[in-house]
Amino acid sequence: MSTTNSPLRVAVLGSRGKVGREICRAVEAASDMELVASVDAGDAIEALLEANAQAVVDFTHPDVVMDNLDFCVRHGIHAVVGTTGFDDERLATLRGWLEASPATGVLIAPNFSIGAVLMMRFAAQAAPFFDSVEIVELHHPTKADAPSGTARRTAELVAEARRTAGSAPMPDATSTALDGARGADVDGVPVHSVRVRGLVAHQEVILGELGETLTIRHDSLDRAGFGPGVLAGLRAIDDHPGLTVGLEHFLDLP
Amino acid sequence: MSTTNSPLRVAVLGSRGKVGREICRAVEAASDMELVASVDAGDAIEALLEANAQAVVDFTHPDVVMDNLDFCVRHGIHAVVGTTGFDDERLATLRGWLEASPATGVLIAPNFSIGAVLMMRFAAQAAPFFDSVEIVELHHPTKADAPSGTARRTAELVAEARRTAGSAPMPDATSTALDGARGADVDGVPVHSVRVRGLVAHQEVILGELGETLTIRHDSLDRAGFGPGVLAGLRAIDDHPGLTVGLEHFLDLP
Amino acid sequence: MSTTNSPLRVAVLGSRGKVGREICRAVEAASDMELVASVDAGDAIEALLEANAQAVVDFTHPDVVMDNLDFCVRHGIHAVVGTTGFDDERLATLRGWLEASPATGVLIAPNFSIGAVLMMRFAAQAAPFFDSVEIVELHHPTKADAPSGTARRTAELVAEARRTAGSAPMPDATSTALDGARGADVDGVPVHSVRVRGLVAHQEVILGELGETLTIRHDSLDRAGFGPGVLAGLRAIDDHPGLTVGLEHFLDLP
Amino acid sequence: MSTTNSPLRVAVLGSRGKVGREICRAVEAASDMELVASVDAGDAIEALLEANAQAVVDFTHPDVVMDNLDFCVRHGIHAVVGTTGFDDERLATLRGWLEASPATGVLIAPNFSIGAVLMMRFAAQAAPFFDSVEIVELHHPTKADAPSGTARRTAELVAEARRTAGSAPMPDATSTALDGARGADVDGVPVHSVRVRGLVAHQEVILGELGETLTIRHDSLDRAGFGPGVLAGLRAIDDHPGLTVGLEHFLDLP
């Protein structure tokens, strides 16, 4: 990526999946990128070399993503990864590989929605200024897990910010309650999971103190919402060699 | 109340309580009413007769409300009652007293907020047209009970409407959940109770089906919100002799 | 439709359009209906007769819908119509045709979203109980008209309900305002049109009086949201001979 | 303020006004402060010296605030000021006075609500990541100005952040519109002003891009909401000599 102004040569792994197709579309629509290879199950990954790809986007499967990344890092191809299943062991393995290829960057992000990333960041920043913080996440009723991963992560970040600030426990005078009425407790933060037909993926963080509340809400209505976050990752990856976890480190925020 | 156009002569029982004071203010501000007596603990109820009251508003205490109503019904004074604690036995007693005074009307209402009454009514009417219905109620953190009484009542009305319509069970694919994440189950309707400093009293009913949701939200920011409902009760009480439970029967709704 | 329990034989006109495809899918998925013909531009409408269709759904174009309806009414086929462009003259023509075929029903509906229909109905019913009513409609930024047709219709219904009830003008002490700050005035009801990328089609009706507000919000996230309304129209059409304008007349509401 | 741990000696100017009373209450309730003087119209400001006040809170009137500040700065008393009416000339005068008393701090803040300050900050930070930003502010109908000062300020900050980031103009295909439907244009940002009885002071900033929206909402339900911001100002004032405009500079934000 030494030449400036020539479009970034991007390949998409998992290109026929639901998200992969949206990513292909977004890369093709970006004037500063070129989609040079689309690879899915059954295709040879060597296509990346033939196409001279500078960076890949990986939305594949936990079973194959490590092989993909091994190949990319060995060939000095940056990777922006939305595939799930990364535990400490996998991250350590990746760091080892990257030591041998110090100019290569890998971004692992559990969420490529810029709106969701900002919601989590703002919620954690605001939390120490308020007595109470609760989270309501709302999804379609075919979702298997409650709370959502984003809600759990938000609650953990809020709890950590409150611990660091030495916040007092949240006020709650509830003395008579039905089971479940006050939500799931995630690290001390109540989380409520609404499942209603017609919803897609939504979350509200409600922060309150005497006389006022601040509500930060994210609505994700379409998988196309991942596009801008993936493009932001691709644009910044050359400036971030090594392993990065979380899209927020690539956004230019104070 | 034979003379038309002369203002209705109203007395307030519990006139020095938080709600009572608001009611006194509302009656005084209404051009078609006159506040002729304000009675609270320690005052003699005979003041109603001296003041020639045509109707009382009672926001007192479960311990004294039956004595108050006994006195009013015996003297043919209508009563609009927001005091709680009415069970089937008390209602039966009241009906007995009213048989002996057939022109007198008593309205017992658990909620004098017109907005809350409409929210419950609309939620129940809409419920059969949607696959899913969930309730989120949000209150200040000094509230003792969860869910709120209004949320429980709304859930019961929604459940009843769905039963009558033969609605299928709500879709919910949740297979991994933290305790409480999916709210309290009230008659099959999930209810979530948020307690955040700075909130007053709020409720959202979220109804959804394929591709769309309908949300009915009530925000009660001030006890003054009871005023219009109590006035509506007072204005209609002469036309509703006998016992009525629920303000909705006095509102002119289709 | 004399035999009970045999599935209703439905044809879709405009079957290859965006909405038409969703309707075909919804009819096929309904256990009490059978999709017997799919007709679009270039196809012969006589297919309806060959297929022995009992009812059609028409989501075509103002240029062809009258010809379609002429054919259907002459052959005693019910019609549920979402095509736009019906003025008083067209409605009068339709009524004339239907006089000659008194058992046939035609439903013309500007909006088949049950949620939107209920929102409008509830807003009009609630309006007389509140001092203020304003409408905020929120859509994607490629929408050409502001306010939306649904918002205009809602405002008209609210204004009519307030006139009938003799409501006082809404309170508004605004003395210094930028142009446009207080929205468009539709029949005395302020309407605000938000256009933000990522939105689909949303509307909030905010009603308020002393101390409380009632908010009725409709979110339409997907064209699939028309399906249930069209099916409701098809199920009721045999019981509603003649011309009906507006889905609300077919919903079993008090 | 050389001694640590002894409570800060605070005086309130404008102590009998609506906000002043809340501030007195908040200072009295704070364990690290002492309310040593309450001054209002007709009282002698020399009471500050007799009470040995270290800092004042001023919620008075544009006509008297400059005299108050002249007195405070001359006597080395810090000031936290919520009174309005500061233009560039007044700020320059203040800076001149402070040069002669370099250890004294004056904080002028148009808004002491921490929630409102965070809303504005987050909106400006997020704005460059989204295609569209619109503001809906909602207030009681006795408010004279539209849009609200907070909405105007938010729009200006959003516009500035978008200019700095080189954001493209917001998408808007509106071709047929009623006057006012698309809100007031504040520096290129549409602002909509809702005035509904029962509301207090609320604002929503809606940011959107392909497939997702982020909404930041602030609800101010009670003047008590100014308390925590004023206390935060008092606690930090000794560390901020000179003139500071805007509470955000005193909050410990990244």
Render B11-33 in DSSP notation, one character per residue.
Answer: EEETTTSHHHHHHHHHHHH-TTE
A76: left (phi over 0), alpha (psi -120 to 50) or beta: left
- pLDDT digit string, tens, across residues B27-57: 999 999 999 999 999 999 999 999 999 999 9
Conformation bin of residue D97: beta by default, left when phi > 0, alpha when psi is -120 to 50 = alpha
In angstroms and rounded to an integer, the radius of gyration of the C-alpha atoms of chain D is: 20
Residue D13 CA to chain centroid, in angstroms?
17
Q: Give B242's pLDDT tier (boundaries 50, 70, 90).
A: very high
| Location of structure tokens 């003047």 | D223
Å from C163 to nearest chain B CA? 15
Mark yes or no for CB contact D170/C141 under 8 Å.
yes
- From first to last of the 254 residues of chain D, give the pLDDT tens digit: 444 579 999 999 999 998 999 999 999 999 999 999 999 999 999 999 999 999 999 999 999 999 999 999 999 999 999 998 899 999 999 999 999 999 999 999 988 999 999 999 999 999 999 999 999 999 999 999 999 999 999 999 999 999 999 999 999 999 999 999 999 999 999 999 999 999 999 999 999 999 999 999 999 988 778 888 999 999 999 999 999 999 999 987 87
- CA-wise closest residue to C150 among C139, C161, C141: C139
Q: Mutate which of A200, A204, A221 to disrupt the C interface (most C C-beta within 10 Å)?
A: A221
| Model confidence pTM above 0.80 | yes
pLDDT at C4: 58
- Give me the catalytic one of C61, C78, C143, C218: C143
- The pair of three-digit structure tokens given for residue C123, joined into one six-digit string: 């807003």
Contact B126 C113 (CB under 8 A): no
**Average pLDDT rounded to a whole number, residues A36-55:** 96
- Mean pLDDT, residues A29-51: 96
Find out whether A19 is annotated in a ligand binding site.
yes
B196: which chain D residues are within 8 Å (Cβ-Cβ)?
Answer: none
**CA–centroid distance for A155 within its chain:** 15
Alpha-carbon distance B73 to nearest alpha carbon in chain A (angstroms): 35
Question: Which of A212, A222, A223 is the closest to D225 by Cβ?
Answer: A212
Extended strands (E) in chain C: 8-13, 33-39, 55-58, 78-81, 105-108, 132-139, 145-146, 176-177, 184-186, 189-195, 201-209, 212-220, 242-245
Contact residues on chain A for B147, CB-CB shorter than 8 A: 177-178, 181
| CA distances in angstroms from B84 to B87, B108, B228, C143, C211, listed in the order given | 9, 9, 19, 51, 21
Buried b vs exposed e over C95-117: b needs ≥16 C-beta within 10 Å? eebbeebeebbbbbbebbbbbbb
State pLDDT tens for residues A100-109. Answer: 999 999 999 9
Of the candidates C147, C196, C210, the beta carbon closest to that of D178 is on C147
Nearest chain A residue to C226, by CA: A198
pLDDT the model gives residue B1: 43
The pLDDT value given to residue A236? 94
Of all residues in chain C, the one with the smallest CA distance to B112 is C212
pLDDT of B4 reads 57
Element (H, E) at D120: helix D114-126
For a pLDDT cut of 90, what percent of chain B falls above it? 90
User: Is A139 a residue of the active site?
Assistant: yes
Q: In terms of Cα–Cα distance, which of C82, C127, C87 is closest to C106?
A: C82
Q: Does C218 participate in catalysis according to the annotation?
A: no
Q: Do D225 and B198 make contact, defined as CB atoms within 8 angstroms? A: yes
Average of per-residue pLDDT across A46-57: 97
Residues in a beta bridge with A146: B177
Query: How many CB atoms are closer than 10 A to CB B74?
Result: 12
Is the Cβ pair A114, D129 closer than 8 Å?
A: yes
Contact criterion met (CB < 8 Å) for A200 and C221 = yes
CA distance B200 to chain D (A): 8
Q: What is the pLDDT of residue B187?
A: 96
User: Does the pLDDT value for residue A4 go beyond 60?
Assistant: no
Strands D189-195 and D132-139: parallel
| Residue A146, pLDDT score | 95
Bridge partners of C138, per DSSP, are C194, C202
Q: Which chains touch B (3 or more CB pairs under 8 A)?
A: A, C, D
pLDDT, tens only, C199-238 = 999 999 999 999 999 999 999 988 778 888 999 999 999 9
Which residues of chain C carry a pLDDT beneath 70? 1-4
Contact A141 B185 (CB under 8 A): no
**How many C-beta neighbours within 10 Å does residue B144 have?**
9
Q: Which two tokens stand for residue D36?
A: 């040593």
Nearest alpha-carbon partner for B61 in B28, B38, B84, B89: B84
User: With left for phi above 0 and alpha for psi between -120 and 50, is residue D173 left, alpha or beta?
Assistant: alpha
Residue with tokens 């907070």: D150
pLDDT at res. D2: 45
Of D139, D192, D202, D218, which residue is the catalytic one?
Answer: D139
Q: Judge whether residue A2 has pLDDT over 60.
A: no
Which chains border A (3 or more CB–CB pairs < 8 Å)?
Answer: B, C, D
Count A/B contacts: CB-CB distance under 8 Å: 186
Q: Nearest-CA neighbor of A115 among A30, A196, A224?
A: A224
C250 to A96, A242, B58, C220: CA distances (angstroms): 67, 63, 43, 21
pLDDT for C160: 97
Task: Give pLDDT tens digits for B76-118.
Answer: 999 999 998 899 999 999 999 999 999 999 999 988 999 999 9
Distance between C67 CA and the closest CA of chain A, angstroms: 35
